[in-house]
Structure formats: structure tokens, C-alpha cells
Structure 1
């Protein structure tokens, strides 16, 4: 133990200097760690601020884009609604024309029936000897009038279907082109 005390007495200034140097190194290391942590926190804060600004810019741009796209969609829908309304007016006009045509067709059919009846009456009263042939001619006139009426009805039905198809096709085409603009 005395040997250790002798060594301590002889080297105590060196040991004190070593202890002071170790304490200073520890203090400097702690100070460096503190400064490093502060610098890193400041850098993180700066980056977080940049990211927040970028995120806010992205959100604002997304909102602006969404509003723009909604306005475009509303414009398209308004255009389509106008085209559909126009198409419905055309369909109504075609329906009114078909109704008017049916009225004139009914008049034409009545005229055909009247002519067939007159022909039958004139054939029957013209020559009593040929009553059998008159009946056949009257029957042929009646059949011809019925065929004419059926053909006229079928033509009216087909014309109505064709008008509706044409109007619906034109409406669809207008809607397509209005969306593309």
C-alpha cells in the first residue's frame, strides 16, 4: 500500500492533469453532442417546414384541379342536358307530325273505302246480267282497299320508328360532340 501511496505522491500532478483532460474531453463530447443534436433538430425543423409548405401547395393544387374538373363536368352535363332537351323537342315534333299524318292517313283510308264502295255500287248497278262478276270485282276492290290501308298503316309505323331513330341518333351524336369540345 505504501508503494501505491508513493506512486500517488510522485505522479499526482500528472494524474490530476489526466483527470482534467478526461473531464474536459467528456465535457467537450457532451457539448458536441448537444450542438449536434441542436443542429439536427434545426435541420429537421427546416425540412419539416419545407415538407409542410409542399404539402399545403399540393393540397391547394389538388383543390384547384378538382374545382376546375368539376366546372368542366358541370359544363359537359349542361351541354348534354341542352342536347337531350333539344332531342326531346325534336321527338315531340316528330310525334306531332306522325299524329297529323295519321289524321290525313285516316282521311285517305276513308276516301279509299268510299271509292271501293262506289266502284262496287257502280259495277253492281251497271249490268244486272253480270251480277256475279260485279260481286267479284267489288270484292277485289274491297281487298285492294284493305291492302292499301294495311300498307299505309305499316308505312306510318315504319316512318314513326325511323323518325324516332333518326332523332335519337342525332341527339346522341350532338351529345358526343358536345362532350368532346
Structure 2
């Protein structure tokens, strides 16, 4: 047992030194881990703040686009409403013109009726031709009015679509 008593202080010293070294190593690892964890937490915080800022900016831009598109649609609808009112006014004016053509054709038909039978037959044929011509004029005018209304509305809708596209393609 005497050897153990002589070696025991050396073993205790080695164990104390090993324990001290292990404690220092463990403290270093813990400190390094804490430092890195703090850096990661800071990075995660900055990433989250950047994500929120980007989301707010994207939503603001989206709302701006939507507001511009809504304004373009409202302007387009206002234009279409104005064109519809203008078409109704033109239709009323054309109705008056067609009425005048009917009166003229009727007057021509009545003024040429009479006289001898040869002139009466020629007059009846001429009045029928005038009546047909007046009818063709009325139908052509009505169709032209309808087509003009369709063209105006199509143009207004196209311009509205272009404005909305210009807003989102900036």
C-alpha cells in the first residue's frame, strides 16, 4: 500500500488538471455555442423584419395597381355611358331624318298620282322606287348607327384594357 500512497497525490493532481481542462473546454464550447446562437437569432430577426418589410411593400404596390385599374375601369365605364347617351341622341336625330324621308316619299307618291294612265303607271313605279329607296336608306342608317355604337363601345373597352395593362406592366 505504500506505493498507492505515493502515487495517489499524482493521480489526484492529474485528475484535478484533467477536470480543470475539461471544465475549461466545456466552458469554451458553451460560450461559443451561445455566441453562435445569438448570431443566428439576430440573423433570424433581420430576416423576419426584411420579410415583413417586403410583404408590406408588395401589398402597397398591389393596392396601387388595383387602385389604378379600378380608376381605368371607372373611366372606361364613364366613356361607355357617354357613348351610349351619344348613340341615343344620334338615334333620335336619325329617327327624325328617317321620318322626313318617309314624308318626302309619301308626298312624292301623292303628288305624282293623277293625270293620264301612262304617266300614272310611270308615276306609281317611280313612287315605289322612291319608297324602296327610302326603306333601304332607313335600314342602312339604322344598321350604321348600331355598328357605330358597337364600334364605339369596343374601342372604349379596348382603351380601358390597355390602360389596365399599362398599369400592371410598369
Question: Is residue 26 from structure 1 mapped to residue 15 from structure 2 by the alignment?
Answer: yes
Which has the larger Rg?
A: 1
Larger displacement relative to structure 2 (141-150 or 16-25) = 16-25
Cross-structure match for 2:29: 40
Q: Equivalents in 1 of 2:54, 2:69: separation in Å?
A: 22
The secondary structure found in structure 1 opposite 2:112 is helix
Q: TM-score, normalised by structure 2?
A: 0.91
Q: Equivalents in 2 of 1:121, 1:21: separation in Å?
A: 146
List runs of 5+ in structure 1 lacking aligned partners: 1-7
1:158 deviates by 0.6
Q: CA RMSD in A?
A: 1.6
Q: Deviations over 1:59-97 (max 9, x none)?
A: 111111111111111111111111111111111111111
Q: Deviations over 1:98-134 (max 9, x none)?
A: 0000001101111111111111112213x33132332
Cross-structure match for 2:163: 174
Question: Is residue 143 from structure 1 mapped to residue 132 from structure 2 by the alignment?
Answer: yes
Q: Equivalents in 2 of 1:65, 1:17: separation in Å?
A: 72
Q: Equivalents in 2 of 1:153, 1:163: separation in Å?
A: 15
Cross-structure match for 1:128: 116
Question: Is residue 104 from structure 1 mapped to residue 98 from structure 2 by the alignment?
Answer: no
Q: Equivalents in 1 of 2:35, 2:41: separation in Å?
A: 10
Aligned length: 169
